[in-house]
A and B are shown apart, each in its own frame.
Chain A
Amino acid sequence: MKRDRWQSVKAVVTTWGRGALPGVMVIVAVMIARLTGALQFLELVTFDRFLRLRPAEPMDERIVIVSITEGDIQRARTYPIPDREIADLLKRLQTYQPTAIGLDIVRDIPVEPGNAELTSVFRSSKNTIGVEIALPDRSGFTVAPGPALPSEQVGFADAVLDADGYQRRSLLGAHNPQQEYRFSLAIRLAERYLAARGIELGNGIRDPEAKRFGSIELTRVQSNSGGYVGADAGGNQILLNVRSGTMPFRVLSLSQIKSGQVNPSWIRGKIVLIGMMSFSAKDQASSGAIAGINPGRIYGVEMQAHATSQIISAVLDGRSLLRVWADAWEYLWIVAWGLLGISLGRFLRSPWKILFGILVASVSSIGICYGLILLGWWVPIVPVLLVLVLNGAGLMAALFYRHEQELRLRLEERQFAIEQTFNAIHSGPLQTLVGILRTAQEQATPPPFLPELQRLNQELRAVYGSVQREAIADEPHLRMGSAIELALQAPLHELLYKVYCNTLEQELPYLKTLKFKIVQFDPLNTSHLRLEHKRALCRFLEEALCNVGKHAIEATRLTVICTQEGDRQVIRVADNGRGKPSQSETLSLAQMDRDRETTEEPNPKLQPSGLGTQLAKNLAKQLGGAFRRYPNQPKGMVCELTWSAKRRWFR
Chain B
Amino acid sequence: MITYEFLQNYWWFIISLLGGLLVFLLFVQGGQSMLHSLGRTEDEKKLLVNALGRKWEYTFTTLVTFGGAFFASFPLFYSTSFGGAYWVWMIILFCFVLQAVSYEFQSKPGNIFGKGTYRAFLFINGVLGTFLLGAAVATFFTGSEFTVNKGNIVGLGDAGPVISQWQNPLHGIEALGDARNWFLGLAVLFLARTLASLFFVNRLNHDILVDRSRKFTLYNGVPFVVFFLAFLIWTLVADGYAVNPETKVVFLEPAKYLHNFLDMPLVLIVFLLGVVGVLYGIFATVFRPEYNKGIWFAGVGTVLTVTMLFLVAGYNHTAYYPSSIDLQSSLTVQNSSSSEFTLGVMSIVSLLVPFVLAYIFYAWRALEKKSLGLDDLQADEHSY
Q: Do A and B bind each other?
A: no
